[in-house]
Structure 1
Amino acid sequence: MLTKLLRRTTALALLLAAPFAFAQDPAPTAPTKDADPALWVVKDADTTIYLFGTVHLLKPGLSWFDEAVKKAFDESGELVTELGSPPDPATVQPLMMKYGVSMTGPSLTEKLPEAKRAAFAKALADFGLPQNVIDRFDPWLAGTQLSMLALVKAGYDPKSGVEEALHGAAAAAKKPISGLETIEQQFGFFDSLSEPAQMLVLTEAVDKLDSAAAEFDKLVGEWAEGDAEGLAVMMNVGLRSSPELSKVLLADRNARWADWIKTRLDKPGVVFLAVGAGHLAGSDSVQAMLAKRSVKSERIAY
């Protein structure tokens, strides 16, 4: 059961772009290590859409933007990611207040089960976070922030993430960049969760802070090896025990993205579509949703 809880927490990092992590010092450079993440393609007579799974935070030194991935990107006339170009922090802050902060009512500590309160307070102290501020956070926001900070502390860096490199390359090549969702929509997904589901995000994050980095190491290792089946197992174990989280964060979004892809096939061109790797793995993956819509996807061997 503990492994399932941990995997659900780390799985969230493959599902949402999470551009709202607290600022951290840059991670040190590291020796380059080769990675060959999975790549798929959907095409018809005049349209090609590459499907690439991303990891939003990586440790420096992992070389993945080469070989077939770079070739597909270079061939593409546009880049589509979950959020498009990174949102302006000045825009994110009021949205965070709207969807993730409650200035009235019981504090977050008061909402927590009594048995979890001491561990929550310790986690905040360890990260140097003011409890009186975090106590006004909704459970989903506090939980995702604690999980993200645990990964950053272990050396994972949003600036080394896949989207950062893709956005930079697209901007340099003057490729159009667009998004499947907005940051407000992503905040809204969490805000729409029931109180028990939000509290689950928080309590699992608190319980597994010491183990999150090691589990995420395994997950990134499978991504780097192109092991889509291994990622699917981790996603299934991590989310299936919470049907609400699985539906809101994974299945419903994948279905909408499959509709977008099917519609985009009506317009000629080559598109590089990059979304969290968890969306391209498992029985509710984007590819599975495409198959239900009679759209074939094919993995590119390299």
Structure 2
Amino acid sequence: MFFQTRLFHIQVCGSVHVWDDSPVSVSQETVQAYQRAQRVVFEADYRAPVDLQIGSYQNGDRLSQVIPSSLFADVLSSFKKFGLPTDSVDSLKPWMAALYLMPHQFRSVGITNSHGIDKHIFDQAVADRKTIDCFETMSGQLNFFEGAPIEEQETFLRRMLSLAAADEAVRVFSAYKARDMGALEVLATDALKIMPKMFEQMIPGRNTSWKRTILEKFNDGIPTLIVVGALHCVGPTAVQIV
């Protein structure tokens, strides 16, 4: 999904972070924009290690003490079902437990590739030795989950246990492949209603901070392709509205 910006030498590609069993496909417009670009900017650098320590309690708290006992039992059951180790579950924060379950739940609804358009373009940019810049770090992205209220972390965990988040990912993926921007905007609005603090940080808040970086890159005049999630490209706070 390709978007024009008001900055003529900066183009934006709306991507998805996951894919199904089919070959990853990139639109012709994106291919052309990539070929013109001397620099490609991504949300984060896929080559960088991720520090997961932030997702575990360090002060003696336990997941079983933070969430209802019935929910903790469901988490343990799901970890066992997917063959995940259960000995460290109690040390995980709610959002991290949800992230552990995410790829397994996604596979159950047909999303088998944990990397989508953005990783595909990233790998190509590395192979072509293009200049690669990033808005943030992979480890830094975890702060958007960490900073959410405990109630929303619990909601996120419940949704992952119930397949709601996986079903939402399927809807985003389907809307992306159909280039249905209206459906994507509805999905973004719905997510904001369900987890307002977390989603505000993850989408509109990041868009605002990214725009400052985009304008800085405009000043150097280097032809640039920006590759970010499709939900960053819809609605009144869309990142390409500069």
User: What TM-score, normalized to structure 2?
Assistant: 0.90
Identical aligned residues as a percent: 23
User: Which residue in the other structure is 1:227 paired with?
Assistant: 180
Q: Is the 8 A contact 2:207 2:239 kept in 1?
A: yes
User: 1:272 and 1:76 mapped to 2: Cα distance?
Assistant: 6
User: Which of 166, 169, 173 is the aligned partner of 2:121?
Assistant: 166
Candidates 193, 200, 210, aligned match of 1:240: 193
Q: 1:83 aligns with which of 31, 44, 56?
A: 44
Q: Residues 179-221 of structure 1, C-alpha deviation per residue, up to 9 Å, x if partnerless? A: 1001232122222222222222212222x23x55444323211
TM superposition shift of 1:63: 4.8
Gaps of 5+ in 2: none
Distance in structure 2 (CA, Å) of the matches to 1:197 and 1:215: 16
Give the one of 215, 224, 229 matched to 1:271: 224
Aligned with residue 215 of structure 2, among 262, 272, 292: 262
Task: Output the amino acid matched with 1:169.
Answer: Q
Distance 1:165 1:274, change over 3 A: same
Question: Partners in 2 of 1:129 and 1:83 — Cα distance?
Answer: 27
1:1-302 equivalences in 2 (<5 Å): 38-44=1-7, 48-88=9-49, 92=50, 95-97=51-53, 99-153=54-108, 154-159=110-115, 161-206=116-161, 208-209=162-163, 212-287=165-240, 290=241, 295=242
Q: Secondary structure at the match of 1:51?
A: strand
Q: Relative to 1, partners in 2 of residues 1:244 and 1:137: Cα closer, same or farther, differing over 3 Å?
A: same
Residues 84 and 179 of structure 1 are in contact (CA less than 8 Å); yes or no, is this contact kept in structure 2? yes
Amino acid at match of 1:54: S
1:84-109 Cα offsets, whole Å, 9 max, x none, are 34213xxx2xx211x11114423212
Residues 284, 129 of structure 1: CA spacing in aligned structure 2 closer, same or farther, 3 A cutoff? same
Do 2:94 and 2:153's aligned partners in 1 also have CA atoms closer than 8 Å? yes
> Residue type matched to 2:61 in 1?
P
Change over 3 Å in CA distance of 1:155–1:233 after alignment to 2:
closer
Question: By how many angstroms is 1:81 displaced?
Answer: 0.3
Paired residue type of 2:102: S
Deviates more, 1:103-112 or 1:244-253: 103-112
The number of equivalent residue pairs is: 241
Amino acid across the alignment from 1:115: S
* Per-residue deviation, 1:229: 1.4
